[in-house]
């Protein structure tokens, strides 16, 4: 059975979208500090996290690859279409987030199994909540489910830590995708110098295709890591 492997990229929404009460709530941990330097540091730390929360950020890109065929699509927000390779990954620019999410859920409905890296902790709940905010119908509502299963959702961050069996100091402590890729001889998605932390700046500068390219590299790497797991570790209990 083919598996849909995907990853998302997110970018913080303008602070102007939030009212005074919301901003006060978000920055309250900073205002509770006494020293102004500590307050500023905490405010910056909180603001950097805006792109991680579905009520302060939007989904700007989703790449999907079929595990069997290696073909896929990358949906991304863009002002206009930029020439890009269409084989094996088709680039699909979208005018807004609602269009991007609608297209994603339409494609996702065709798969009974998905694979992510930390999708249970981030990608899936982010997609669910952003879709709810924008009233975009969700076609698959079973992707969080029972954590100790690999169907319908195989989260490699769970699998390579054996569900956090040893905690941070154990042999199976959790590493990021870049670290796992290097350990298993897989090309790192960060090899070209772009990381998820750059997405806000890339969006602001209109460099949409670079975001899409990075997301594609992320999913290609996740696909290779999934193949490693299938061949060498699937079934370990």
Residue 41 token pair? 């540091």
Choose the CATH number for 4-18+56-232 among 3.40.630.30, 3.40.50.12660, 3.40.50.10300, 3.30.420.10: 3.30.420.10
The pLDDT tens digits of the residues spanning 21-37 come to: 999 999 999 999 989 99
pLDDT value for 230 = 96
- Residues (pLDDT < 50) of the chain are none
Question: Which CB contacts under 8 angstroms, 24+ apart, belong to 72-75?
Answer: 72/219, 73/107, 74/212, 74/215, 74/216, 75/100, 75/103, 75/104
At 6-64, the pLDDT tens digits run 999 999 999 999 999 999 999 999 999 989 999 999 999 999 999 999 999 999 999 99
Q: What is the DSSP code string of 152-211?
A: SEEEHHHHTTTTTTT-TTSTT----HHHHHHHTTPPPTTTTS--GGGHHHHHHTT-HHHH
Q: pTM, whole model, 2 decimals?
A: 0.95
Token pair in block for residue 18: 């939030």
Where exactly are the structural domains of the chain?
4-18+56-232
Q: How far is CA 165 from CA 157, 173, 233, 235, in A?
A: 12, 8, 15, 15
């Amino acid at each position: 059975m083919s598996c849909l492997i995907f990853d998302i990229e997110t970018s913080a929404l303008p602070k102007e979208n939030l009212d005074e009460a919301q901003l006060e709530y978000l920055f309250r941990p900073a205002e509770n500090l006494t020293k102004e330097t500590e307050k500023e540091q905490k405010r910056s730390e909180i603001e950097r996290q805006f792109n991680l929360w579905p009520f302060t950020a939007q989904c700007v890109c989703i790449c999907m690859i079929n595990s069997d065929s290696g073909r896929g699509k990358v949906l991304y927000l863009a002002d206009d279409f930029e020439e890009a390779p269409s084989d094996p990954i088709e680039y699909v620019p979208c005018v807004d987030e609602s269009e991007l999410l609608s297209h994603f859920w339409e494609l996702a409905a065709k798969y009974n199994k998905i694979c992510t890296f930390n999708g249970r902790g981030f990608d899936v709940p982010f997609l669910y909540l952003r879709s709810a905010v924008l009233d975009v119908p969700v076609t698959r509502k079973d992707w969080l489910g029972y954590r100790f299963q690999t169907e319908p959702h195989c989260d490699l961050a769970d699998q390579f830590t054996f569900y956090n069996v040893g905690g941070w100091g154990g042999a199976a402590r959790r590493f990021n995708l870049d670290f796992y890729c290097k350990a298993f001889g897989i090309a790192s998605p960060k090899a070209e110098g772009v990381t998820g932390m750059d997405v806000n700046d890339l969006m602001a500068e209109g460099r949409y295709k670079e975001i899409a390219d990075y997301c594609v590299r992320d999913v290609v790497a996740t696909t290779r890591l999934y193949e490693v797991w299938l061949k060498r570790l699937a079934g370990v209990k």
